[in-house]
Chains A and B, each alone.
Chain A
Amino acid sequence: MQDAAMSNNMAKIADARKAVEQLKLEVNIDRMMVSKAAEELMAFCEAHAKEDPLVTQVPSSENPFREKKLFCVIL
């Protein structure tokens, strides 16, 4: 019985140590100000807006799903 209790404790300690090491890693990473990160997200959107067919509407003829013509399957 004592063995089971001891190894149970050892496992909990091992887990707790792992949690502490993980948190230390997470605390110590390099971070960027939200203002800067936000500017970069926006810049990406702006740079790619023209290529995004759902943001910049393209003529229906260029969107294969909007085209009205029927498709023939060549057998």
Chain B
Amino acid sequence: KDDVIAAASAARARRSGRVGLATASRSTSDPHPAEMATHELHPNDTLTTLKMESENLKAKLEEERAKLHDVELHQVAEKIEALGQFVMKTRRTLKGHGNKVLCMDWCKDKRRIVSSSQDGKVIVWDAFTTNKEHAVTMPCTWVMACAYAPSGCAVACGGLDNKCSVYPLSLDKNENLAAKKKSVAMHTNYLSACSFTNSDMQILTSSGDGTCALWDVESGQLLQSFHGHGADVLCLDLAPSETGNTFVSGGCDKKANVWDMRSGQCIQSFETHESDINSVRYYPSGDAFASGSDDATCRLYDLRADREVAIYSKESIIFGASSVDFSLSGRLLFGGYNDYTINVWDVLKGNRVSILFGHENRVSTLRVSPDGTAFCSGSWDHTLRIWA
């Protein structure tokens, strides 16, 4: 925990102008105060030259990316068959939250769901029967993040309490879940998203404090922190396990960053959205990811081409996309929007395949089930819906 607090206050110190964190990649050392005194003009020159170098590198990056832009994805996709008629309806409605549903996640058993709400409640449901199996009241309101453990034996959640806590799920319905609660992550601002890694032992978090962090669940120790966003980080998604140890995050700085989990290094960064990125999700092969933003568009970024390869938008869609997820094969992209609808996109051809109505307020969260047979949406209308 000391490491956590040190890391958090170091990040704050950086932003307030005191000495910055050292990075392993730098070969030159910072100018010594004694040197600074004898070269009064030196620091300003250095700053200006560095800024110019930065601008030049940004231009070079765009140049390199443009060289590979030989064709558009939807052009390549012209040769494949269009999708058949698309029929999806609400098959279940989960009622029980007393306020806006903010987040949900599926259990690997493909039937259980955990959801969290503005009223501080976290509920575990059986989506087949719509029964509530567990309920926990958090000590804070706005529980913006929740996640199911891979084993199905625990859930993690957090929000305005700046923490991520893990609750083991008990088979005994009478047991008070709050008694076994374990505080794992500690940020210096709200928790926006959390996800277990491949096991119940590690959790990845993102926060309003501008950082992401990887934690050991058992000890609460900070294993790695990820700095690079210039504002609140709103979402994250782990790469499918076959593709290695990376994850993508999206933030209020309009950037989507791809990170190496072991080194803490940002590997790639994409800044084409015009507003906050509310949701990021990997394409099932791990070679691309989609994003949903307040700029009313969803976009697809290919990691090997290192660029945006598709924009999913329509003039009639003017409200932000809050949450996105792919169908099992990656052909469909489901987007939940602030205009209460869900738009279904053909990922390859770029056109909208369907628009789903039903929610009576913003759609805030959306996830496809682990076996791809359905997807669940959560809304500010206090309900969750299962669509299939």
* A19:B54 contact, CB within 8 angstroms: yes
Measured between beta carbons, the chain B residues less than 8 angstroms from A15 are 14, 20
Chain B positions within 8 Å of A26 at CB level? 61, 267-269
How many B residues touch A, CB cutoff 8 Å?
80
A21 to B53, CA, bound (A): 10
Quote the shortest CB–CB distance from A65 to chain B (angstroms).
4
The reply to whether A52 and B372 contact each other, CB–CB distance below 8 Å, is: yes
In the complex the two chains form, what is the Cα distance from A34 to B75 in whole Å? Answer: 11
Check: B11 CB closer than 8 A to any chain A CB: no
For window 33-62 of chain B, which residues contact chain A by CB distance below 8 Å? 33, 36, 43-44, 46-47, 50-51, 53-54, 57-58, 60-61
Residues A31 and B129 in contact, CB atoms below 8 Å apart: no
Q: Given B20, B58, B307, B329, which contacts A18 in the complex, CB threshold below 8 Å?
A: B20
Which of chain A's residues have a CB closer than 8 A to the CB of B329? Answer: 44-45, 47-49, 51-52, 55
A16→B54 contact, CB < 8 A: yes
Chain A residues within 8 Å of B58, by CB: 23
Distance from A23 Cβ to chain B, minimum over Cβ atoms (Å):
4
User: Within the assembled complex, what's the spacing in Å between the Cα atoms of A45 and B300?
Assistant: 14
User: In chain A between 14 and 59, which residues have their CB closer than 8 angstroms to a CB of chain B?
Assistant: 14-27, 29, 31-42, 44-49, 51-55, 57
Cross-chain contact A37 with B305 (CB below 8 angstroms): yes
Interface check B253, CB cutoff 8 A = no
Contact A34 B68 (CB under 8 A): yes
In the complex, which residue of chain A has the Cβ closest to the Cβ of B285?
A: A44
Cβ-defined contact, A52 with B47, below 8 A: no
Determine whether the beta carbon of A35 is less than 8 Å from that of B71.
Answer: yes
Q: Do B54 and A23 touch (CB < 8 A)?
A: yes
Check if B305 sits within 8 Å of A33, measured CB to CB. Answer: yes
Residues B328 and A54 in contact, CB atoms below 8 Å apart: yes
A41 touches B68 (CB 8 A): no
- The B interface is mostly helix, strand or loop, or mixed, namely loop
Tell which of B14, B60, B267, B287 touches A37, judged by Cβ atoms closer than 8 Å: B287
Closest residue of chain A to B347 (Cβ to Cβ) is A45
When chains A and B are docked, how far (Å) is the Cα of A37 from the Cα of B92? 38
Q: Are A65 and B302 in contact (CB under 8 A)?
A: no
Supposing A34-B68, A38-B76, A64-B128 touch, asked if A10 and B30 sit within 8 A by C-beta, the answer is yes
A62 to chain B, nearest CB (A): 8
- Report B138-167 CB contacts with A as 1/0, cut-off 8 Å: 000000000000000000000000000000
Residues of B contacting A1 in the complex (Cβ-Cβ under 8 angstroms): none
Question: Is B30 in contact with A13, judged by CB distance below 8 angstroms?
Answer: yes
Is B77's CB under 8 angstroms from A37's CB?
A: no
Given known A-B contacts A14-B20, A27-B64, A44-B329, A34 and B373 have beta carbons under 8 A apart: no
Given contacts A18-B26, A35-B71, A40-B287, 16 further A-B contacts (CB under 8 A): A9-B43, A11-B14, A11-B20, A12-B17, A14-B19, A18-B23, A21-B26, A24-B57, A34-B70, A34-B302, A35-B76, A42-B76, A45-B80, A45-B330, A51-B372, A54-B375
19 example contacts (A-B, Cβ-Cβ < 8 A) are as follows A7-B19, A10-B19, A10-B36, A23-B61, A31-B305, A32-B68, A32-B302, A33-B68, A35-B76, A37-B287, A37-B305, A40-B304, A41-B287, A41-B330, A53-B371, A54-B327, A55-B83, A55-B328, A64-B373
Which residues does A use to contact B, with CB under 8 Å?
Answer: 6-27, 29, 31-42, 44-49, 51-55, 57, 63-66, 71, 73
Binding site for A on B (CB under 8 A): 14, 17-20, 23, 25-26, 28, 30-31, 33, 36, 43-44, 46-47, 50-51, 53-54, 57-58, 60-61, 64-65, 67-73, 76-77, 80, 83-84, 88, 91-92, 111, 127-129, 131, 228, 265-269, 283-285, 287-288, 302, 304-307, 309, 327-332, 347-348, 368, 371-375, 386, 388
